[in-house]
Structure 1
């Protein structure tokens, strides 16, 4: 409609239609001829009704541009004349501390895409134009910070619901308020935040370094710590890292459909790779930090970006590599030109995911870093993906000529505990491999071929740092006893020998979860029985008769092993062939692991835990296999603990529903709230569009936990909890009130969890639980806890 009479007649015409048809008619203020053509093309391309309308509205863009009358993109102008789907709007003030940076921006986009309505948003404070709410890049580059005012519009049948959901997101500070009163795996608030540099640093121990020391370089202190080699000296050899350069050629293509399909295939594979990085990072640094890669997944789904690439391929007949790179460069430039320095640094994620897709398009192999000996890594920069794959046992420090303390790479380095100095002079790139370097990630300095007095000062600083850490953890080795005298065991979740050493140093009373997947990853064949035996024995030796619960292999589905071909892709890997299901179909693999665990049990307090149990049949089948392995060992005269206890992970609703039956079959339960939450809420926790629904403090999840605990205690067995909820100090009163016997957390969280337990009483905690189970949402539960717990004197 482009005339007043057309508007009136169209509205009248609708009134003559049956009511069912009226609901399907949209009025659009587009030009008759050009609008109709644009709408047909968009509809034929499979766009939804709102995208079709947007194309129709923008049909005069070319003419308007020629006449110089365009003040803003016409495709972003929303209709206020649509009778059936009017435009609604709200104004909101941003109160969370970091505004719409990576994670909040991702939550905004995820929420916006849940609705059919077209969501547009503009930053009134910075007087920006409207951008699409379903575009991660456009939302992020609005530069929204704390205190800014936003105007959000929604056009469509569910406009009111969409705006209400977004308003709730802002009211809850994008979950930032909850995080600020909790701790991440390093015991720090704000896992994303720019203040982690200071918060994660131990007390400063200042030594008088001589100014302009020979070979001294200054940079940005990004991750605290002194890089030490395994020999104990305060230096290590340099190793240069250079990612594979990708060169592309621009050329004309005739078959544009085939070219688009090439790009779609590369994006699909890139998405799988990023999800694999997320899974690996979750094991190594935890889900909270691994969520950094959520924004990368959304980048691959950004409709504005994809439409721009498609237009270059179809209209300009560009090859996929050139079209993709051109658009990625444009997006990267839009980040670099922002006034906000923090948001400028998000360009690293854009480049990271852009290079991943480009590498797949040109067929380059992924660059991997393999170090024979511990070293300090020197590079121009490290991408978040590169950093997440580093082995802290081999990479003792990071030294780059670019980057910042608030980059995602720096955040990951801090979480891994790798000292890092960024922004060093480029002369460091000319050092020969093997050159000795010392690195101080707290002061932001590095020394090339350091002199002896520098080594002495660094050694003294490291010793002082370690002393302070030991003093801070003095009470961590005491039992965790509530104010009214109940003792709760605090165990550790680990995934390596290094983890168990850290756990014991932090006061762990045992290991509640040994993730054995680390033995199977990053190799071309499964570990042998002897390899596994050596690792299990080494970990048990460090524990010195403390309990060690070994979870059998939990791969398959979302965590595939490259050397075990599934043979077909799984549409829903979290609901697929994984955990105990996978092991029961790979008996040779399973029996090898069971033999290694049984052999390691001699003289140690080792228990077996089975993952992904959903039926009694699976438990009984496993016990039969375990009996066969025990018989084989007996026949071979090999010793093992014949009384070794067997337990299960309770992480699917089916196990909760039959917990009373399962309690008759096993010796203990361990509740995995990470998976249980996603199954209860029917939400994939690695899918950024719905990951916000996965919250273990939701009353539905808490009721499942309560039901499991009651069934376990009625059956006379103990029950622990090994999900990330156990490390959330805000949740400690809930977990105590529910009656858990044991909490198993990441090693760094042990001192804090023990202190939290010592400040609470069971009576007080049980009262909180009664109220918590009656709440409507996880947010309500958090609010209840924060107002109910009496602060320590």
Structure 2
């Protein structure tokens, strides 16, 4: 079987597919009544306590990097978990007869839809906070069903919508390819995959996700194809491509230290585009002489909130120190269009030509 998608990161991988589902997904929560109201209330209270501990731990870990007003956000989160707020409404629904997961789903969806309909942009963005809190609670409610996943030596990770955190769950030495049913070549995962050198295919249509688990698979990151249960002939073909890629890498390593100069003596600068420290390591290994474009938006895109001024300083210092004394060119934050931030939604009719890039920076210098 061959499915056509979009090339997310170049290269070829041959391995065994492992399908990963989100740890907490409200769409998969069924409508169920409670068979033991007291037990459901106890289960929910335990999940709330665990999330409180998690939020406090994150707040303490980031305390040295945040201003007091930013630190206060964690107190707001904890306040939402109070019996008189979100948690109290869930408890009321459980007492009315719903199981804990079903009650939580309805309350979170109600809260989020109310915020999403507000005219004030700041309040609309709070819907993201509500959903995040809800998923954290749900993951603890579902914890009894979680099993440890083991990954084969050559894992092709497959998901409906891959996230950066999913990549982090697979040991890097086991991960050879990525397949995401949703997404495009400009998604967060595609950016990470290119930086890590992992062949990736995105944006597949009509693929039976539930039937893809533990199948032999070829990921063709050059053409955007995946091949399921390939024939021996096809495997030999793609194995030859893999070997050619490795040989080309070895050939290029032999000329890394030579100057970038044409036969008639004209000097050319071999600069690289970067966004992550993974880019830097690979670039230095491949003989880059400096940075032609540092994409400042990448640390913003892989975060769940705006990086603080201190965190940004650390990101930029890493880049400058890695390439010193060579040139590093940085651009201002380029968000909007195909590079949206989940915590800073931009809604306009023509985002590719509208409010983005330098216009956002001029309107929001505090970022």
- The alignment's TM-score, normalised by the length of structure 1, stands at 0.27
Larger Rg: 1
* Contact 1:238–1:437 under 8 Å retained in 2: no
Q: How does 1:366-765 map to 2 (within 5 A)?
A: 366-405=146-185, 407-424=187-204, 425-427=206-208, 429-431=210-212, 433-440=214-221, 442-448=222-228, 449=230, 451=234, 455=238, 458-459=241-242, 462=245, 466=249, 502=282, 505-506=285-286, 692-694=308-310, 724-729=315-320, 743=321, 750=322, 752-756=323-327
Instruction: Mark the CA change 1:354 to 1:311 in structure 2 (over 3 Å): closer, same or farther.
Output: closer
C-alpha separation between the residues in 1 aligned to 2:224 and 2:76? 32
C-alpha separation between the residues in 1 aligned to 2:173 and 2:59? 24
Deviation at 1:371, TM superposition (A): 1.8
C-alpha separation between the residues in 1 aligned to 2:255 and 2:54? 43
Q: Tell me the residue number matched to 1:238.
A: 17
Deviation at 1:416, TM superposition (A): 3.8
Q: Tell me the residue number matched to 2:264.
A: none
1:226 equivalenced with 2:11 (yes/no): yes
CA distances 1:474-507 after superposition (whole Å, capped 9, x unpaired) = 6799xxxxxxxxxxxxxxxx9xxx9999587245
Q: Tell me the residue number matched to 1:313.
A: 91
C-alpha separation between the residues in 2 aligned to 1:476 and 1:299? 56
Q: Give unpaired runs (5+ residues) of structure 1.
A: 1-214, 229-234, 280-286, 288-293, 338-346, 478-493, 509-685, 698-722, 730-742, 744-749, 758-793
C-alpha separation between the residues in 2 aligned to 1:353 and 1:475? 53
C-alpha separation between the residues in 1 aligned to 2:142 and 2:18? 27
Deviation at 1:756, TM superposition (A): 1.3
Deviation at 1:454, TM superposition (A): 5.0
C-alpha separation between the residues in 1 aligned to 2:248 and 2:129? 33
Deviation at 1:396, TM superposition (A): 0.8
Deviation at 1:225, TM superposition (A): 2.4
* Contact 1:388–1:412 under 8 Å retained in 2: no
Instruction: Mark the CA change 1:407 to 1:268 in structure 2 (over 3 Å): closer, same or farther.
Output: farther
Q: How does 1:50-199 map to 2 (within 5 A)?
A: none
Deviation at 1:325, TM superposition (A): 1.8
Instruction: Mark the CA change 1:443 to 1:725 in structure 2 (over 3 Å): closer, same or farther.
Output: same
Q: Tell me the residue number matched to 2:337.
A: none
Q: Which has the higher contact order (CA 8 A, sep 6+)?
A: 2
CA distances 1:524-550 after superposition (whole Å, capped 9, x unpaired) = xxxxxxxxxxxxxxxxxxxxxxxxxxx
C-alpha separation between the residues in 1 aligned to 2:11 and 2:177? 8
C-alpha separation between the residues in 2 aligned to 1:275 and 1:407? 28
Deviation at 1:361, TM superposition (A): 2.5
- The alignment's TM-score, normalised by the length of structure 2, stands at 0.51
Deviation at 1:265, TM superposition (A): 0.7
Q: How does 1:338-349 map to 2 (within 5 A)?
A: none
* Contact 1:266–1:361 under 8 Å retained in 2: no
DSSP-derived class of the 1:426 partner: coil
Instruction: Mark the CA change 1:387 to 1:458 in structure 2 (over 3 Å): closer, same or farther.
Output: same
Instruction: Mark the CA change 1:367 to 1:353 in structure 2 (over 3 Å): closer, same or farther.
Output: farther
DSSP-derived class of the 2:162 partner: coil
CA distances 1:603-657 after superposition (whole Å, capped 9, x unpaired) = xxxxxxxxxxxxxxxxxxxxxxxxxxxxxxxxxxxxxxxxxxxxxxxxxxxxxxx
Deviation at 1:374, TM superposition (A): 1.5
DSSP-derived class of the 2:176 partner: strand
Q: Give unpaired runs (5+ residues) of structure 2.
A: 66-70, 118-126, 261-276, 289-302, 329-367
Deviation at 1:329, TM superposition (A): 3.7
* Contact 2:201–2:224 under 8 Å retained in 1: yes
C-alpha separation between the residues in 2 aligned to 1:274 and 1:220? 36
C-alpha separation between the residues in 1 aligned to 2:17 and 2:141? 33
RMSD value, Cα: 5.8
C-alpha separation between the residues in 1 aligned to 2:31 and 2:208? 29
DSSP-derived class of the 2:327 partner: helix
CA distances 1:45-76 after superposition (whole Å, capped 9, x unpaired) = xxxxxxxxxxxxxxxxxxxxxxxxxxxxxxxx
Q: Tell me the residue number matched to 1:265.
A: 49
CA distances 1:61-93 after superposition (whole Å, capped 9, x unpaired) = xxxxxxxxxxxxxxxxxxxxxxxxxxxxxxxxx
How many residues align? The count is: 276
* Contact 1:270–1:357 under 8 Å retained in 2: no
